[in-house]
Amino acid sequence: MRDLSEKIAAIAPSATIEISNAAKRMAQEGVDVISLSIGEPDFDTPAHIKDACIDALRRGETHYAPSAGIPALASAIAEKIAGENGFAVQPDEVIVTCGAKDAIYEAMEAVLNPTDEVLILDPAWVSYEPCAQLAGAVARHHPLSPETFQVDDTLLEAVSSRTKMVVVNSPSNPSGAVLDAASLRLIADICRDHDLYVLSDEIYEKLVYGKEHISLASLPEMAERTITINGFSKAYAMTGWRIGYAVAPRPIIRQMEKVQQHTISHPTTFAMFGALAALRGGQDCVEAMRREFERRRDYLIPALKGLGYTTAPADGAFYAYVRVDGDDMAIARSWLRDAHLAVTPGTAFGTPGWLRVSYATSMENLEEAVGRIARV
């Protein structure tokens, strides 16, 4: 066999997906495994969203769509951004993608050149660095304070003459932290002063508990340098639909659209009609799911603290980030082997010594999981 791509060989597999695959395999083999490894709402997609997709299928919305997505959805997204996120965009500053992940990949391809550096704030979700690598760029990591998970002015020291983009993810996967206004102002000041782009991944914006989500692009002069990433997976329990989007200045969207045209063409046409119904319909379903995640968080965090663990703030998303003594990879392996409990080691997110425990699962599973952690 001839040699394969060195670029791809250098990229790590997705730890979140690999561990959840391993848990699924164990479950298929009849093991009573509890998976707290993947960040995926356990709720069904709300019925009115499914109905809109089925109607679209029946109407014959089964053909190619415009490559940036169906115009009605781009308009609905532009209205949502203006109404909820505090900055103005036109529909042609929106691209609908195959999940937020695809939007992140396309944004990096659209903006970065080889040797450009992307600054990632650790702990960070597993796919930012590989997307930067796929674009030929270089990822640099800057640790957030492990006490507060906020940004301080040491971020400035991490900026080099090669830095072109900063990746910001609030609410954060994996820490559950929500960046406060002071952190966002600091990031904005640095990006303006050093002419940097920001990729602001706001996919967990709806899942905040007693905190306010602020969009980076709403800060003065930030919309012109921010690519806002969002999607339907987390807020509407639509992970399998693969619909996400990016909002950015027109030249960036045009570049992303070229990537899209030559790779996926556009996301699935009838799935986009479901996403349209999600935005146009009532939002009570989102709030009901948020409240249920909050209830689980309010159980899990004190339960883990009761077992002696230190946890990150858990103000958003659906992850408890738990400090452990010793090798997080070995501990995660032993929890899986001895307690049939799948969690993701912090090493995968650039912070060894932590475990990510997803509470996007039933209360019964969480109670059973806490019992198993106590025993293991």
- What residue 17 binds from ligand GLU, ligand PMP, none (CB within 5 to 8 A, per partner kind)? ligand GLU
Whether 350 and 124 have beta carbons less than 8 Å apart is answered as yes
Whether 194 and 225 have beta carbons less than 8 Å apart is answered as no
Does 170 engage in binding with ligand GLU (CB under 6 A)?
no
Which of 213, 356 has the CB closer to ligand GLU?
356
Range in contact with ligand GLU (rule: CB under 6 A) among 13-21, 49-57, 163-171, 367-375: 13-21
Judged by CB under 6 A, the chain residues 217 through 246 that form the site for ligand GLU are none
Q: How many CA atoms lie within 13 A of 69 on its CB side?
A: 33
For residue 172, the minimal CB distance to ligand GLU (Å) is: 11
For residue 352, the minimal CB distance to ligand GLU (Å) is: 17
Amino acid found at 136: G
Which of 273, 293 has the CB closer to ligand GLU?
293
Q: Of all residues in this chain, which one has the CB nearest to ligand GLU in the complex? A: 39
Judged by CB under 6 A, the chain residues 124 through 183 that form the site for ligand PMP are 125, 169, 173
d(CA 127, CA 115): 19
Which residue of 173, 175, 218, 260 would you call a contact of ligand GLU, by CB under 6 A? Answer: 173
d(CA 96, CA 99): 8
d(CA 203, CA 235): 8
Whether 346 and 15 have beta carbons less than 8 Å apart is answered as no
SS3 at position 205: coil
For residue 40, the minimal CB distance to ligand GLU (Å) is: 6
User: What one-character-per-residue DSSP string does 182-200 give?
Assistant: HHHHHHHHHHHHTT-EEEE
- List, in sequence order, every residue forming a beta bridge with 322; answer none if it has no partner: 311, 355
Whether 248 and 226 have beta carbons less than 8 Å apart is answered as yes
Give the chain's count of helices (H) and strands (E): 13, 12
For residue 144, the minimal CB distance to ligand GLU (Å) is: 17
Does 126 engage in binding with ligand GLU (CB under 6 A)?
yes
Question: What residues have CB less than 8 Å from 214, skipping those under 6 apart?
Answer: 86, 170, 179, 181, 184
Range in contact with ligand GLU (rule: CB under 6 A) among 124-132, 247-255, 258-266, 309-317: 124-132
# residues near ligand PMP by CB under 6 A: 13
Judged by CB under 6 A, the chain residues 28 through 67 that form the site for ligand GLU are 38-40
State the first-to-last Cα distance of the chain, in angstroms, to the nearest integer. Answer: 45
Binding mask 94-113 toward ligand PMP (x if CB under 6 A, else -) reads: -----xxx------------
Residues that bind ligand PMP (CB under 6 A): 39, 99-101, 125, 169, 173, 201, 203, 231, 233, 239, 244
Residues that bind ligand GLU (CB under 6 A): 14, 16-17, 38-40, 101, 125-127, 173
